[in-house]
A and B are shown apart, each in its own frame.
Chain A
Amino acid sequence: MGHEARSTGKPDDPGCATRPDDSSIGEARFREILDGIPGLVITAAATGELELFNLQVLEFFGKTPDELRDWTVGAIVYPDDLARLVEAFTLSMATGCPYDLEYRLRRFDGVYRWFHGRALPVRDPEGHILSWYFLLTDIEDRRRAESLLASENRLLEMVAGGNSISKILDELCGFVEATVTGSYCSVVLVDSTGTRLEHGAAPSLPSTFVTAIEGRPVNIESGPCAMAAYLNEQVISADLALETRWKEYEWCPMALAHGLRSCWSTPISSTIGKVLGAFAIYYTEPRIPTVEDQVLIAQFTHIASIAIERQQSQMSLSRALHELKTSEGRFRTTIDAIPGLVWSAGPDGNVDFLSQAWCDYTGVGLEGAGGSGWAKTLHPEDAERLTGYWASLLASGESGEFEARFRRFDGSCRWFLIRTLPLRDETGRIIRWYGLNTDIEDRKQADSLLAGEKRLLERVASGTPLGSILEDLCHFVEATVTSSYCSVLLVDPTRTHLQHAAGPSLPINFNASVDGLPLVVTSGPCATAVCLNEQVIAADITLDRRWAEYAWCPMALANGLRACWSTPISSTNGTVIGIFAIYYKEPRTPTSEDQALIGQFTHIASIAIERAQGEAALTRSEAFLAKAQQLSLTGSFSWRVATGEITWSEQAYRIFEFDPVRAVTLELIGSRVHPDDIPLMHDMVARAQAGKDFEYEHRLQMQDGSIKYLHMIAHGIVDEVGQMEYIGAVQDVTERRLSDQALSKVRSELAHVARVTSLGAMTASIAHEVNQPLFGIVNNASTCLRMLAADPPNIDGALETARRTLRDGNRASDVIKRLRALFKKTEAIAESVDLNEAAREVVALSLSDLQRNRVVLRSELASDLPPVIGDRVQLQQVILNLLRNASDAMSSVTDRPRQLVIRTEGDEGDRVRLTVQDTGVGLDSEAIDKLFQAFYTTKISGMGIGLSISRSIIEKHHGRLWAAPNTGPGATFSFSIPRGPGAVTGVDSLDTIRTPAAATEAAASWGTRNV
């Protein structure tokens, strides 16, 4: 700043400013010079006090020199610049250094303009500062031009750089506001329909104001911008407070409410004259645009129009590009629709196009796979061969085919068939190579599976052990399915456990842990799969809570396994015969491809296992048959009657004691047949020639003179040529015959022993029964004698006692008769038996015995019981046996009455039932099963014959004998037999009963204290 020169001026040459000579140049002259300088000049004293102002200064500011001397106050310097200027000024005054600064000064009309101010000191020859000159150059226009240029460049860069229109317009507004001091700027756009205003930019205006303007209709009523856009001409509202337009939309009150007082809206037009929007400048005070403003506005609207227009054309370009892309996309879509990976390469073999499918598959784009980069996606084993082959194709120019594995994005590899074809121009020169890679993984796998299956089945057929075959299968699976571990488990023959069969790549510990796991759903995934006959997937073993009972998961994890898929292997009849399991060291869920493979593997496994087991079973059954023939001493033979051809099994030779190399003929056989049985053999041959089945028993006389008993049975079949062939079995029954004899001998000995035993056991009973009447006889006889010897003789008394003697004698005789019946009788007879009567007799015989055992017997004999047909004595033997057993069962009972009930009653199905119930030690269920077996006894001294023979007696009466525990203490034995007559009919039944052996057995059983 300067101030009015006191007396002298200085030439405008700050570089060599010297104190003007007052005498040479007059005050007036100096003023003229000052005023003639095309710029604002101010002089100041050495202290900085402003002295002289040239005319231009006074005119610019419109203020008096005194007003200007207080420049630091009042609206002279733009407030934002004041501090900066004061600081520079003060520093210069203090140091004497000049300053050079740009700042804004307020013109008389309130407009701030940029000035370039320089301060220069005037020194005396000694260098002392005499005064200061200030030269202020209006740089507003230059600055604006620069600013406009810079902003235009910037904005155009932004447009070109694809910035959004709102960002560009924000920048533009920012530029305007920076350039035009005190202004607020906004841009509104006309929407695509041309009817409404939409937001462009208004970075410094209140948002409520902005939103109030947006969406207003493009007409003359809704506001200045809408009006400007509508009319395509500038709308100036110098003072909104005085404005009368846009009342209908109450635009002015709204703007005033936001502190705005003036608004200049200028339409933004496209190069073809279409209104794109409006550019508005607002002030917080009433203002009319100056010429400079208008120039500025014109320039900014031009830039805005460029920006918007370019933006729009950019958008249409990008739309066009997009459309272009889409159409290219269509082309690509066509390529991508080709079921395969499409690529093309230049004549040099460098790949320059890869279809999306190719990139998607490999996960590598053209940038990575172009040129020869694609080779990296090959399976390492195929890379060298294919690149070599490709080079040979390039060299020869021939089309070619090649199979190779490409690595997929996920690391897995699949087989592809690569077909390539050169495209030639009219001169025959190769201009491109085209290629198509077709996924043949499935075919390859099918081939491989087929080959694998074939190999495995060959091994099955060649009798390779199953374990080895299954190991092969596992290796095969592991080779087919990347990073898998495979095992096969079998269901053991008892179907209770898993058996390890193969798991060649799994840890030995793991296989050992799984081997022998019980077939329960809790023992592990494989067992579960067997139990449920369904696939069990453990996708992540760490998360699986199944099989906790057997701690299967921790075991598997300890062996490094994270996933397990167990699939049942079923035989053709649907039985689960094993488990095919795939393991991974990472969590994994089977894909549909995996499932397809698993299906095929389990099928192979099933064939292998079933065939192997079938073979094993056949081998086993052959071995079994041979062994069985040997063990059972049974030979087999076939005999073709027409040709006389006889085939013998090994055992048949052994039985006949012929050398196995000798041909078997009827003559040879005849040489062994016992002479007495030769007629039997002739009869047999006659029957065979008549085509009848036959069964014979005959003897052989061996060379050492020993006798063999043979049992032969043969069945005739007619073969395909109509010839009779006998298939038969011949059994050496010598041992059986001998053992039968031995057994019957043992039986008779046993019967004897039993009888003796029972006689001994019955002695007390016999004695008791006989001694009672004998005592009576003795007493009576004595009394009789005494009565007769009396004086006078008591004749009446003697007669009475003699009668009693007779009766007691008969009674003793009856006892003996009954005992004799029980012990002497051997022939069973079928007669009508009153079971009640039979029971009473047995009870009479047993009573004393029961009493001795302190058993209280109650008889509940049904009054209207029908008679049964059978052997009275045998039935009585059974009853007696039951009573004695009941009595014996109670012998150790002391804490309750020893009660025995004998009951007869009608039973369902026209049967009669007799029941003996005791309160003895009772039966356990195990004992019930064995009760009726011979030699089973719970008694230390028993023979174990009684109940088994009792049962056989009852069964011979077509009845049933059974035992059951009581609800209370003790047991109940019952038999039920058909009522007669007619219940036991026919010769067979009577024959059965009359069988001497049965009677012997029955008699033998009598009274033994068994069970």
Chain B
Amino acid sequence: MSRPSLVSLVDDDESVLESLPDLLKEFGFAVNAFSSAEEFLASGSVSATKCLILDIALPGMTGPDLQRELTLRRQEIPIVFITADEDETIRPRMLERGAVDCLFKPVSEATLLKALDRALCVN
């Protein structure tokens, strides 16, 4: 692990935006955090991102919208969706769309790490 892989986070919740990047850094990743999909797309981090942790319910462009947009841009970044909703039907839909995983907040450390590992393996 010469250079840490860049993990990008897109979530509009303040608590998540503050806490998750610190944890990811503790895991040893480089982290860029964005509060909206549009912000992420506008940043220069898209091509460098090895894994995208993406909230589903975002204001404006949603998580799945961003996924579609990235596919159209041929930026096939492994995506781990996270959501605060407890709708069990969301997960299979997201996996079907090619997400590495879909996690329900609050997500345990182990679960998150496992998902990140799978994402980076894909890479």
Q: Which of B36-79 contact A (CB under 8 A)?
A: 57-60, 62
Contact B58 A779 (CB under 8 A): no
Residues of B bordering A, CB below 8 Å: 13, 15-16, 18-20, 22-23, 26, 57-60, 62, 82, 84-87, 104-109
Q: Is A851 an interface residue (CB 8 A)?
A: yes
Residues of the B chain whose Cβ atoms lie less than 8 Å from the Cβ of A778: 106-109
* Shortest Cβ gap from B123 to chain A (Å): 23
Let me know if B105 and A774 touch, CB within 8 A.
yes
Whether A783 touches B23, Cβ cut-off 8 Å, given contacts A771-B106, A778-B108, A854-B62, is yes
Q: Which residues of the partner chain B approach A776 to less than 8 Å between Cβ atoms?
A: 13, 15-16, 18-19
Q: Please provide the 10 A-B residue pairs with the shortest distance between their CB atoms, ordered closest to farther.
A: A776-B15, A779-B19, A775-B105, A771-B84, A775-B106, A778-B106, A786-B26, A774-B106, A768-B84, A771-B105
Chain A residue nearest in CB terms to B18: A804
| 15 more CB-based (< 8 A) A-B contacts, given A772-B84, A776-B16 | A764-B85, A767-B85, A771-B105, A776-B15, A778-B109, A779-B15, A779-B20, A779-B106, A780-B22, A783-B22, A786-B23, A811-B15, A851-B57, A851-B58, A854-B62
Total of A-B residue pairs, C-beta within 8 Å: 85
A767 pairs with B22, CB closer than 8 A: no
Any chain B CB within 8 A of the CB of A147?
A: no
Q: Is A896 an interface residue (CB 8 A)?
A: no
A771 touches B86 (CB 8 A): yes
Is A773 among interface residues, defined by CB-CB distance under 8 A? yes
Tell me, rounded to whole Å, the shortest Cβ–Cβ distance linking A341 to chain B: 110
- Give 1 or 0 for each of A860-892: 1 = CB within 8 Å of chain B CB: 000000000000000000000000000000000
Q: A777 to B58, alpha carbons, bound, how many Å?
A: 21
- How far is the CB of A769 from the nearest CB of chain B, in Å? 8
**A787 and B26: CB pair below 8 A?**
yes
> B residues within 8 A CB of A848?
57, 84
Q: How far is the CB of A785 from chain B (nearest CB, A)?
A: 9
Query: Considering the complex, which residues of chain A in the window 754-797 have a beta carbon less than 8 Å from any beta carbon of chain B?
Result: 763-764, 767-769, 771-780, 782-783, 786-787, 797
Q: Which residue of B lies closest to A765 (CB)?
A: B85
Complex CA gap A745/B91 in Å reads 43
CB under 8 Å from chain B, chain A span 796-853? 797, 801, 804, 807-808, 811, 848, 851-852
Nearest-CB distance from B95 to chain A (Å)?
Answer: 20
For residue A807, which residue of chain B has the nearest CB? B15
- Report A-chain residues with C-beta under 8 Å of the C-beta of B82: 775
CA distance A807 to B14 in the complex (A): 11
Chain A residues with CB under 8 A of B105: 771-772, 774-775
Specify which chain A residues have a CB less than 8 angstroms from the CB of B13 in the assembled complex: 772, 775-776
A775 touches B107 (CB 8 A): yes
| List of A residues within 8 angstroms of B109 by Cβ | 778, 782
What A residues does B26 contact at CB under 8 A?
782-783, 786-787
What are 29 contact pairs spanning A and B, CB under 8 A?
Answer: A768-B57, A768-B84, A771-B85, A771-B105, A772-B13, A772-B84, A773-B15, A774-B105, A775-B16, A775-B82, A775-B84, A777-B15, A778-B109, A779-B15, A779-B22, A780-B22, A782-B26, A783-B19, A783-B22, A783-B26, A787-B26, A801-B19, A801-B22, A804-B15, A808-B15, A808-B19, A848-B57, A852-B57, A856-B60
In the complex, what residue of chain B is closest to A801 when comparing beta carbons?
Answer: B22
Q: How far is the CB of B66 from chain A (nearest CB, A)?
A: 14
Chain B residues within an 8 Å CB radius of A852: 57, 85
Cβ contacts under 8 Å, B86 to chain A: 763-764, 767, 771
B54 CB to nearest chain A CB (Å): 14
| Inter-chain contact A768/B19, CB cutoff 8 Å | no
Q: Assuming A768-B85, A778-B106, is B19 touching A851 (CB within 8 A)?
A: no
Return B13 CB to nearest CB of chain A, in Å: 5
Residues of chain A within 8 A of B58, CB atoms compared:
851
Whether the Cβ atoms of A772 and B15 lie closer than 8 Å is: yes
A780 pairs with B84, CB closer than 8 A? no
Output the residue of B19, B57, B87, B107 with the most chain A CB within 10 A: B19
For residue A829, give the distance in angstroms from its CB to the closest CB of chain B.
32
Which A residues touch B104, using CB under 8 A? 771
Min CB distance A410 to B, Å, is: 98
In the complex, what's the smallest C-beta–C-beta distance from B114 to chain A, in angstroms? 14
Give the docked Cα–Cα distance between A775 and B14 (Å).
11
CA–CA, A852 and B86, complex, Å: 13
In the bound complex, CA of A773 to CA of B62 (Å): 20
- Interfacial chain B residues near A769, Cβ < 8 Å: 84
Minimum CB–CB distance from A902 to chain B (whole Å) comes to 16
Give every chain B residue within 8 A of A856 (Cβ-Cβ): 59-60
Specify which chain A residues have a CB less than 8 angstroms from the CB of B62 in the assembled complex: 854
Q: How far is the CB of A262 from chain B (nearest CB, A)?
A: 142
Instruction: Enumerate chain B residues within 8 angstroms of A780, measured Cβ to Cβ.
Output: 19, 22
* Residues of chain A with a CB closer than 8 A to B59's CB: 851, 856
- Please give me the residue from chain A that is nearest to B22 by CB atom: A783
Question: In whole Å, how far is A944's beta carbon from the nearest beta carbon of chain B?
Answer: 26
Chain B proximity of A776: nearest CB distance (Å): 3
| Contact string against B for A residues 619-657, beta-carbon threshold 8 Å, 1 for contact and 0 otherwise | 000000000000000000000000000000000000000
Separation of A771 and B103 alpha carbons in the complex (Å): 12
Q: Which residue of A lies closest to B86 (CB)?
A: A767
Given A771-B104, A774-B106, A851-B58, A804 and B84 touching (CB < 8 A)?
A: no
B35 to chain A, nearest CB (A): 13
Docked complex Cα distance between A779 and B23 (Å): 6
Contacts of A804 in B (CB 8 A): 15, 18-19
* Complex Cα–Cα for A801 and B19 (A): 7
Considering the complex, give the chain B residue whose CB is closest to the CB of A852.
B57
**What residues on A are CB-neighbors of B16 within 8 Å?**
772, 775-776, 779
